[in-house]
Amino acid sequence: MISVGKAMENLDKLLLENRGLIRATKGFMPPDEGRALAVSLFSCPIIKGIPAVEIGSYVGLSAIYLGIAARSQGRLLISVDHHHGSEENQAGWEFHDKSIVDPVSRKMDTLYLFRRTMELAGLSNSVIIVAADSQSYATVHAGPIAYLFIDGGHSHAQTFSDYDSWVPKLVDGGFLAIHDVFEDPELGGQAPYIIHQRASAEGFTEILAQGSLRVMRKGGAT
């Protein structure tokens, strides 16, 4: 039987092997938070047939971390994004990247880049790509989920909708990870912080904090 220490060593080795790809991938996940994300999925109870879900793939930076953890445990990660960018990615906004605009549709389009990242990371069989609006997809994804990472649209309406649509699907003991949690409004938008507070009030227990990443367990049980 493999020990937890050894398993974590293996996870770090896999992350190290992918450091070139991680450095080259556009996105919004600093390395320390990415590693913490991978460790959190790795530590989340495995229930056969029950997937992990990421909301907000972008070009695949966070999905490299989550996908590596998922693959090493034989789990599946479903990564959901409509791939047209959030409000802050649109032309004229702070996080716009004009190289990601499709010259024909004239819309932001990260789908092919995300697929490429997953292929380069060897994660095509571990990460299921869902190109859809997160709320619409939640209406047809009827089954339970073991792990949820919320990093989609950061407006209040979108963040609250992601919480309302997906958190009820988490199994008891499952993990909820939220990115960009800033208590101080000077440091960032408040929507992720508000759902973090809401989860605390609804009985989630915080188990990990790294930078702006927070990971909580549904229910208090270990």
Ligand X SMILES: C[S@@+](CC[C@H](N)C(=O)[O-])C[C@H]1O[C@@H](n2cnc3c(N)ncnc32)[C@H](O)[C@@H]1O
Strand partners, 103: none
Check 83, 154, 179, 196 and give the catalytic one.
154
* Residue linked to tokens 């997937």: 51
27 near ligand X, rule: CB under 6 A: yes
Q: What is the DSSP string of 120-152?
A: HTT-TTTEEEEES-HHHHHHH--S-EEEEEE-S
> CB under 6 A: which stretch of 15-23, 148-156, 165-173, 213-221 binds ligand X?
148-156
Binder among 56, 67, 174, 192 for ligand X (CB under 6 A) = 56
Token readout for 90 is 């649109």
Strand pairing class (145-150; 170-178): parallel
Q: How far is the CB of 54 from ligand X (least distance, A)?
A: 7
From 3-11, 74-82, 182-190, 200-208, give the range in contact with ligand X by CB under 6 A.
74-82
Report phi then psi at 94, rounded to 5. -60, -40
Rule CB under 6 A: is residue 192 a binding residue for ligand X?
no
Q: How many residues bind ligand X (CB under 6 A)?
A: 21
Task: Name the minimum Å distance from CB 185 to ligand X.
Answer: 18
Q: How far is the CB of 77 from ligand X (least distance, A)?
A: 12
Q: Is residue 154 flagged as an active site residue?
A: yes
4-12, 24-32, 194-202, 205-213 -> range binding ligand X (CB under 6 A)? 24-32
User: Contact, 170 vs 69, CB < 8 A?
Assistant: no
Using CA atoms, how far apart are residues 45 and 67, in angstroms rounded to an integer? 16
17: left (phi over 0), alpha (psi -120 to 50) or beta: alpha
- Binds ligand X (CB under 6 A): choice among 35, 71, 75, 82: 82
Just list the catalytic residues: 154
Residues that bind ligand X (CB under 6 A): 27-29, 56, 58, 61-62, 80-86, 110, 133-134, 151-153, 158
